[in-house]
Amino acid sequence: MNPPASVPRHSGIVHGALALGGFAIGTTEFATMSILPLFARDLHVDLPTGGRAISAYAIGVVVGAPLLAVGGARLSRRTMLIALMAWVAVANLLSAAAPSFGWLLFFRFLSGLPHGAYFGLAALVAASLVEDDRRSVAVGRVMAGLTVATVVGVPAANLLAQLGGWRASFVVVAALAAATVAAVWALVPRDQGRPDAPFVAELDALRSGRVWLTLGIGAIGFGGMFAIYTYLVPTLTAVTHAPALAVPFVLALFGVGMTLGNLLVPRFAGRTPMPAAGALLLWAAVTAAIYPLAAQRLWSMAAIVVAIGLGGALGTLLQTRLMDVAGRAQGLAAALNHSAFNTANAIGPWLGGLAINAGWGWTSTGWVAAGLALGGLAIWTLALTIDCRGATASSPRRHASQQA
């Protein structure tokens, strides 16, 4: 299948424009964690209370993804992308101007609302510009914007916050979002909306067992990565005994692994992402199980962090899988993928914290992560079994129709 005639020849440039939006969103999501001590002190709350600003953003993602996907189903995807990034810009400017912690919570919630819908639509637009067997690569390019943010955007925002105050980091994110608005307006092909499309068409995704299983793979299988990442800094300090200057370097390596994963792994997926997703879940289980051993030395810790980060490509593969099973509900299913991963962001750290509080040590998050990856693999196995049964059932009907 060739791209439609209206598609620009240089689709990579369009992918870059969409990835810029991912970079802005990834920076605001992860940088908030790194500047937590700064805004907590300035707004006169303790660190656990300040952490609610991070939770408020995650709740915004979970709530906003399905609502905006359904609400914008009749609009053109280009128009929706522009509107969503304008929303990101305004919400981050409001975050920068928050007069109190209560207002910051509200503005962070608003900032999270467009997250899932943007990535869902950006993935669909990126995939529409290439042949079917390169959809995962196209989606990976867009998602690379988010992962590059963990390597470049987050450290830069943290440094800026230390030099110019925490509010400055949100202003920079707003500027990046505004630049994305301009890039999408200039580069993304115009498309026709669907003014007559019934809203119920997008809700078809909620009636599909294959969609729910795919979301379940992400919500469970991806939780392990968050379990490890959330407690990586104290593990580096207490177990690895890494010097303070080495901590940002190891955190950046995690982002390097995620970026490489999103750029390289989808190239092996082709038209069918499920086999690659299964292999990646198995990879995640093995690397997580090695993590407690590797955490004892800095060089091995650095290596395993890169290896674990490669598992971030699971999001790209599942995004492509949803395109295959969502039917008419492409927008909602793509957005729900990010709700699923923010659910993983809640499950992983919670279970990791339970293991640590039980006295099993900082590295016990590795065993938690391995268990979650295997849980995701079990759901993947069920989904693949249903796929195979469906293919087997359709084969006799197809053979009979050909004979007729």
Cα separation, 157 vs 160, in Å, equals: 5
List CB contacts of 136: < 8 A, sequence separation 6 or more: 266, 267, 269, 270, 273, 276, 316, 317, 320
The C-alpha torsion from 166 through 54 and 291 to 308, rounded to 10°, is -90
First to last CA, the chain: 28
Predicted local distance difference test score (pLDDT) of residue 380: 95
pTM, 2 dp: 0.75
| Cβ contact 25:116 at 8 Å | no
- The residue extents of the domains of the chain are 1-197, 204-392
pLDDT digits (tens, 9 = 90+) for 47-103: 667 777 877 888 888 888 888 877 776 778 889 999 999 999 999 999 999 999 999
Domain 204-392 has CATH 1.20.1250.20: yes
Domains 1-197 and 204-392 share a fold: yes
Cα separation, 273 vs 284, in Å, equals: 16
Q: Which ranges of the chain have pLDDT less than 70?
A: 1-9, 47-48, 73, 193-206, 270-271, 328-330, 390-404
Q: Tokens 């915004």 belong to which residue?
A: 60
CA 314, 315, 316, 322 torsion-angle sign: positive
Collapsing DSSP to helix, strand or coil, 35 comes out as coil
Predicted local distance difference test score (pLDDT) of residue 193: 62
How far are the Cα atoms of 64, 76, 202, 375 from residue 69, in angstroms, in the given order? Answer: 8, 12, 8, 28
| Cβ contact 189:14 at 8 Å | yes
| Cβ contact 12:126 at 8 Å | no
Tokens at residue 284, please?
């995640």
Predicted local distance difference test score (pLDDT) of residue 4: 43
| Cβ contact 120:331 at 8 Å | yes
Residue 75 DSSP code: S
**CA 23 to chain CA mean position, Å:** 11
Superfamily of domain 1-197: MFS general substrate transporter like domains (1.20.1250.20)
Of the candidates 195, 142, 189, 139, the residue with the CA atom closest to the CA atom of residue 18? 142
